[in-house]
Amino acid sequence: MTKRPVVVATRHFPEAVEQRLQSMFDARLNPEDRALSHDELVARAQGADGLMVAATGKVDADLIHRLPASIRIIATFSVGYEHIDIAAAEQRGILVTNTPDVLTDATAEIALLLLLAAARRAHEGAAMLRQDQWTGWTPTQLMGIGLTGKRLGIVGMGRIGQALAERARANGMEIHYYNRTRLSPEQEKGAIHYATVEALLPQAQFLSLHCPLTPQTVKLMDARRLALLPEGAVLINTARGGIVDDEALIAALKSRRLAAAGLDVFDGEPKVDKRYFAIENAFILPHMGSATIETRNAMGFRAIENLQAVLIDGKAPPHRVKA
């Protein structure tokens, strides 16, 4: 019998994903879902052909240079790959792949959830009930902001940005956007394009971030740019926490310069600036953008497609990323 390639799974993945992984490879799983130290991962990787990793585990240059020579591919269970030192992997001749095009709808749904929850003060209402402080309906209680007729600014009009735009249009919103490349008229569907983020911000009564985290977008939303938003604006972030300057956003929320924020991602997560916990007008979630059964399975299957291409079929992986 032909020896099957060995793949090390660094985290516990969805059941259907692990079943497929085991059916195709000699899979070394992590059923306890324990974060592995570099020493532990290097030990597990001995004699293995590939790694299936998650965005929560940093695969830095030190780890990559310690991996055994047998490792040929690192398949990440994520679209983002900033947790992997791509240049170091390329130096070792290790391919790196990701899972694009399967998170669009799930992430757009969470963005819309955040937008609605932040605008309509859902956190405050839920807290009032859970703390047994609700005394009944009153004419001025928890008045939020309606979506109909409001301007939604989108930074990063890729697949997720466009999917959110579709959902926002259904709620009567007007779409404005910044993207490095202007979309075609068919893709724009009437959305208004701006050549710079700074030009977009004064128009954005709601602002949703969908750009990647790059050296150019680190702390993109700093105090200066937040000040360009209309007073009482609502900010949504489902992209990466590092795109927002926490100090500036927290100050804007506390002063009510911004009406609210909806955040699914945080700088340095899983560590979260604890000041957000005490801010009533911050609706926060623990990075749930892709957390549907359908999407997480699709992510895993896409990662396995990449592993199969390299380790079984001897072909280039369909979703390689490069430095």
Summarize pLDDT for 13-67 with one digit per residue, the tens.
999 999 999 999 999 999 999 999 999 999 999 999 999 999 988 999 999 999 9
Tokens 């009533």 locate to 280
Q: Which domains does the chain have, with CATH numbers?
A: 6-102+293-311 (3.40.50.720), 104-284 (3.40.50.720)
Summarize pLDDT for 263-281 with one digit per residue, the tens.
999 999 989 999 999 999 9
pTM, rounded to two decimals: 0.90
- Give the span between the Cα atoms of 282 and 250, in whole angstroms: 9
- Give the span between the Cα atoms of 87 and 64, in whole angstroms: 10
- For 222-270, the DSSP string reads -HHHHTTSPTTEEEEE-S-GGGB-HHHHHHHHHTTSEEEEEES--TTTT
Task: Supply the residues annotated as catalytic.
Answer: 240, 269, 287
- Give the span between the Cα atoms of 239 and 198, in whole angstroms: 19
Summarize pLDDT for 83-107 with one digit per residue, the tens.
999 999 999 999 999 999 999 999 9
Neighbours of 244 (CB within 10 A): 27
Alpha-helix residue ranges (DSSP H) falling in 93-237: 104-119, 122-130, 159-170, 185-188, 197-200, 223-226
Question: According to the model, what pLDDT value does residue 1 have?
Answer: 53
Among the listed residues 24, 23, 26, the one whose alpha carbon sits nearest the alpha carbon of residue 7:
26
Q: What is the mean pLDDT of the chain?
A: 97
Tell whether the torsion through CA atoms of 141, 142, 148 and 151 is positive or negative: positive
Summarize pLDDT for 131-147 with one digit per residue, the tens.
999 999 999 999 999 99
User: Which pLDDT band, with edges at 50, 70 and 90, does 243 fall under?
Assistant: very high
Alpha-helix residue ranges (DSSP H) falling in the chain: 15-24, 38-44, 61-66, 86-92, 104-119, 122-130, 159-170, 185-188, 197-200, 223-226, 246-254, 293-311
Report how far Cα 218 is from the mean position of its chain's Cα atoms: 15
Radius of gyration of the chain, Cα coordinates, nearest whole angstrom:
22
What percent of the chain lies above the pLDDT cut of 90?
Answer: 95
Residue 2 has pLDDT above 80, yes or no: no
Burial degree of 92 (CB within 10 A; 0-12, 13-18, 19+)? middle
